[in-house]
Structure 1
């Protein structure tokens, strides 16, 4: 039998072209993602996409492996740069950071989004009781939720409060074991968005702490991105050497969104990030939606406050998971 070997080189060339195309198809998106994230280009539809940056970091490793397996060196080089960039941004969230030498009392703070009051009140009260929570911030807080929580004994566990229960999603609340002063309600989006209850909590043995239940707008549609950015920009900055501040709630933003990073640069620390729990999902599939978990609920603390631990708990009836932070305050 006679074999025509003249056909072999064209076939090999076509296979190489296919391999090159496949390599770039795998590498191109992660390279673009790394560029957008590094440059802080969260605009328009990119805002929602950037919430899933940890998943893109994982994909970048697979893209690099594919390019190396296909021996496509230029795509592999680009993939390597993208992988190093994305992993360098994401992996530190899984590593604990040094804490300040705070020597004051312990503060256990829990924050929970109640999904327009649909969250299971008994589970939340049980969390407050068993975890010995000192301060609770709630979002999407309704009159029915307030009544249910009090029937289950929250008013006895956390007797001090500043509440703004509203039908639907705007409501907010702040509960405390200790007295609250200078309390008020902030309304986002120029007076008609989510509300944020705040107040100064007096913890025995520590300086006063300003605590606020944070709930900026959600960028759920393109015409909401401007309000989302404005709400995050309007959050109260940390005060440096002034009053201690804690912002805790549903920020509708991850650490891959530039407005939240700008807020952190004023002097806050993300409690989960500081303890190596920064990749634990808090929103997504918890009410049955097929959405990969992302981390949009945060406890931001003054950099003078030490973070001991962060735990995320289940809350039936809500699409969010409560975040419990154990903190050590500076001594008075």
Structure 2
């Protein structure tokens, strides 16, 4: 290229720039003139000064080649190209629509119109947020039911306290009636414990658990035996002699107690049960004169030929008490201790080498107006602890093991056979009713000198009590 008229062509003019096989592009003449010049590039002085190599060493490229910053015809374009190489982070945003738009520009100056891309730091690894603790909202229905359970639990605690009322105080109107249902409280406490755990009522669960523990500990003897019969005793009571009667010369006997409900019980059902169970000692309560006559007419003397019947007098609690035995009786009494409700029949019977004194009892029931008589009758029976005999008391005590008055009879000498045999509860009242038996008021109380086990209850027609049977082993 030559100078025209001593001057360079006007910059507005363009000249073709040969680029080998590349198509020609037009650039300003001044730019083309500088590109063909062999003179070195001027040096910048001062801050940010930078020298640029001769651009002739770079291959000529078309001005329109945007990916490489255009033709490197001067230092400014080279500088822009170098700047483009300093921003590889643009490649981290291939999906960004604005970056896709930026790719149409061929130099760094136009890239700098989007500085926000240079400020975006590398994405930090995602950190899993700690799970937030959520609280389940308690439904109003559960809240109301929980309130009812609290009230019921408070009632359970009160009944448990009633059970521990000392002797002589629990003769008030409602105490004996309520205390008779203590064994059923364990079911209620277990249910409340389960529901309170499901509904997250922690305090109620703790209180219910404490109540349940106390109730189980109180009644553990009903399910874990403290004594047990020998195998010889269990086998002996199943054997009979040549006449089909139980063997009366050993120290084992099947015994039975039954409240006849003012003499309304079926006498034939009683005698049949005596035969089938091989009963050797039978105690009956609430007998009338007519009942005794029917019983004798039905043949009671054929299976139990010996008996003692207490004298019947006005004011008896439904009738008199009596004892029937397979073996001869000794030291019989129709009024052993003073009990206003009904006189106490007693007799001593020989079992092997032991003398056992059997007593048929029936103190007054704790109904309205009779609480005082009920308490006095139980107190009179507790005086038998001071006598020198081996006692077995059988009958309708009108009290449960959870009554303090009844436990006072036991003291440290006597035991309730049901409470120590481990056979569970033996509910005897009510019977022959749509309501199942709910309370255990018929008992066999005995000295620790004998063992009683294999207990069971039997429902006999005509009575509102179940008969209670057991096997006795004398020592």
1:307 paired with 2:456, answer no
1:271-282 correspondence to structure 2 within 5 Å: 271-282=417-428
1:184 paired with 2:330, answer no
Q: Which residue of 2 aligns with 1:233?
A: 379
Cα 1:47–1:131 change in 2 (3 A) is: same
Q: Distance in 1 between the 2:222 and 2:292 partners?
A: 34
Retained in 2: the 8 A contact 1:275–1:308?
yes
For the residue of structure 1 that corresponds to 2:348, the secondary structure is strand
Structure in which a larger fraction of residues adopt helix: 1
Cα 1:240–1:303 change in 2 (3 A) is: farther
Return 302-311 or 63-72, whichever deviates more: 63-72
Retained in 2: the 8 A contact 1:238–1:266?
no
CA shift, 1:179, in A, is: 1.5
For the residue of structure 2 that corresponds to 1:217, the secondary structure is coil
Retained in 2: the 8 A contact 1:211–1:248?
yes
Q: Which residue of 2 aligns with 1:212?
A: 359
1:67 paired with 2:159, answer no
For the residue of structure 1 that corresponds to 2:370, the secondary structure is helix
1:175 paired with 2:324, answer yes
Q: Which residue of 2 aligns with 1:201?
A: 349
Q: Distance in 1 between the 2:138 and 2:329 partners?
A: 75
Q: Which residue of 2 aligns with 1:28?
A: 154
The count of corresponding residues between Structure 1 and Structure 2 is: 317
CA shift, 1:17, in A, is: 5.8
1:49 paired with 2:49, answer no
Q: Distance in 2 between the 1:287 and 1:12 partners?
A: 45
Q: Distance in 2 between the 1:32 and 1:26 partners?
A: 10
For the residue of structure 1 that corresponds to 2:381, the secondary structure is coil
1:111-126 correspondence to structure 2 within 5 Å: 111-126=257-272
Query: CA offsets per residue over residues 271-309 of structure 1, 9 Å max, x none?
Result: 22222234121111x132646521110111110101241
Q: Distance in 2 between the 1:93 and 1:71 partners?
A: 33
Q: Distance in 1 between the 2:354 and 2:140 partners?
A: 71
Q: Which residue of 2 aligns with 1:5?
A: none
Q: Distance in 2 between the 1:72 and 1:125 partners?
A: 56
Q: Which residue of 2 aligns with 1:96?
A: 225
Q: Distance in 2 between the 1:219 and 1:241 partners?
A: 27
Q: Distance in 1 between the 2:146 and 2:470 partners?
A: 48
Q: Distance in 2 between the 1:233 and 1:219 partners?
A: 14
Q: Higher Cα Rg: structure 1 or 2?
A: 2
CA shift, 1:199, in A, is: 1.4
1:224 paired with 2:370, answer yes
1:114-193 correspondence to structure 2 within 5 Å: 114-164=260-310, 166=312, 169-186=318-335, 192-193=340-341
Return 32-41 or 132-141, whichever deviates more: 32-41
1:258 paired with 2:404, answer yes
* TM-score, reference length from structure 1: 0.86
Cα 1:161–1:19 change in 2 (3 A) is: closer
Q: Distance in 1 between the 2:196 and 2:146 partners?
A: 8
Between the two structures, name the one with larger relative contact order (CA 8 Å, sep ≥ 6): 1
Cα 1:37–1:241 change in 2 (3 A) is: closer
For the residue of structure 2 that corresponds to 1:87, the secondary structure is helix
Cα 1:14–1:281 change in 2 (3 A) is: closer
Cα 1:15–1:110 change in 2 (3 A) is: closer
For the residue of structure 2 that corresponds to 1:140, the secondary structure is strand
Cα 1:154–1:17 change in 2 (3 A) is: closer
CA shift, 1:187, in A, is: 7.8
Q: Distance in 1 between the 2:378 and 2:339 partners?
A: 14
Return 231-240 or 321-330, whichever deviates more: 231-240
Query: CA offsets per residue over residues 242-295 of structure 1, 9 Å max, x none?
Result: 3211100000011101111111124112222222234121111x1326465211
CA shift, 1:134, in A, is: 0.9
1:3-14 correspondence to structure 2 within 5 Å: none
Gaps of at least 5 residues in structure 2 are 1-134, 234-249
Retained in 1: the 8 A contact 2:401–2:407?
yes
CA shift, 1:91, in A, is: 4.0
